[in-house]
Structure 1
């Protein structure tokens, strides 16, 4: 069994985005691992393994427009099922 079940990926489009601040906020407020928060001040890509992807999405939506959202169940994938 995986510690963190959901692979959560999305893009945030906004103004004055700061990848370091976003990275720090996510690691301080949401349990998970394998975090990537990369981009520039107008577009950030998030990749995070967590059990509560909806919390990451709620936070990201406060920063700008979110899109290209993918939430995959890695536990199902490990069993050969669609994630």
Structure 2
């Protein structure tokens, strides 16, 4: 399975820009189903990728990251805990 990790997190900061963060994530980690929504103080990221640590590294450059969820969708598809 390609892009097996469902990666979700919040970025909290000031003057955050959805478009900048969206492009930054696409440039740092291959994946699909990218959603970046929020406002200048709080952004939610949802992304399917094989390299979630790259997403976290990039996101940390944009603000404080928290509420991080990384689930293995391949395990879930096999009936196991993700």
In structure 2, how many angstroms separate the alpha carbons of the residues matched to 1:14 and 1:82?
A: 32
Q: What's the secondary structure of 1:22's corresponding residue?
A: helix
Q: State the Cα RMSD in Å.
A: 0.7
Q: Cα deviation per residue 1:17-70 (whole Å; 9 max; x = unaligned)? A: 000111111112310000000000010000000000001001111111111000
What 5-or-longer segments of structure 1 have no aligned partner? none
User: Counterpart in 2 of 1:9?
Assistant: 8
User: TM-score when scaled to structure 1?
Assistant: 0.95
User: Counterpart in 1 of 2:61?
Assistant: 62
The reply on whether 1:77 has 2:80 as its aligned counterpart is no
| Counterpart contact for 2:28–2:55, Cα < 8 Å | no
Larger deviation, residues 25-34 vs 37-46: 25-34
Q: What's the secondary structure of 2:22's corresponding residue?
A: helix
In structure 1, how many angstroms separate the alpha carbons of the residues matched to 2:27 and 2:46?
A: 16
User: Counterpart in 1 of 2:37?
Assistant: 38
Moved over 4 A (4+): none
User: TM-score when scaled to structure 2?
Assistant: 0.96
